[in-house]
Structure 1
């Protein structure tokens, strides 16, 4: 089959739609939200966290488990999934996957879910604290 099937969207369209429904924040804004009680969730795979470092205080929930861990009605939910009003800020490597993931949480009813613009790379570039990763 050549060409896009009817109704199919490009990944750029999916990303644009997701971002229109969530709040995106700078790394500095994420720190501020964490100070106010938000949960920063690092969805990067272990290999990226090992290679590039981790954010102190971030809750690690790899992408393939995210919805089950944050759905307030899921038997697999985390203690941080206290309800639909929990403030969740999702972090990935560059700020793409996190947008899609935050929108999935929004679809579950977590209306305050958002993500970090630029992801972990922007976090590091902003000079915010990390542990592990390459020596600087």
Structure 2
């Protein structure tokens, strides 16, 4: 018998439960009102697919440290726990897990882009060749 509370599908469902994820168009609106757009795609993915205009590129391995306002390693934009954050990955899976981790830190407005960068492209939204605003 399969346990529905195990595995990556269950983890993803839990991460998305009760969260309002954003469409590409809603993501544009969010950034216009001041939300941080955070791209967690790898360097090779960004080189192949293009850059998200206005996004901060933060490696998934340091995401929590860069965005936690209480962290000594935070970026200047991580001013408090009320900052709206939209996380983007390639297809919208790892970004859901990353946003859930940020909410667990207290960044209660963290969410992600439904369908990731691929949905952004399908929506015909602008891309850039670079350079990206990479935060190490």
**Fold shared, TM-score > 0.5 on shorter chain:** yes
Q: TM-score, normalised by structure 1?
A: 0.90
Q: Tell whether the 8 Å contact from 1:95 to 1:115 is kept in structure 2 after alignment.
A: yes
Structure 1: distance between partners of 2:88 and 2:122: 14
After superposition, what is the alpha-carbon deviation per residue over 1:12-66, rounded to whole angstroms, capped at 9, x for unaligned?
A: 0000000014320001000000000000000011110001001110010011110
Structure 1 residue 131 displacement after superposition: 1.2
Contact 1:89 1:114 in 2 (8 A): yes
Structure 2 stretches of 5 or more lacking a match?
Answer: 131-136
Correspondence 1:72 to 2:75: no
Q: How many residues align?
A: 130
Larger Rg: 1
SS in 2 for 1:95: coil
Q: Which runs of 4+ in 1 moved over 3 A?
A: none
| RMSD between superposed Cα atoms in Å | 1.9
* Structure 1: runs of 5+ lacking an equivalent: none
In structure 1, how many angstroms separate the alpha carbons of the residues matched to 2:97 and 2:14?
A: 9
What TM-score does the superposition give when structure 2 sets the normalisation length? Answer: 0.90
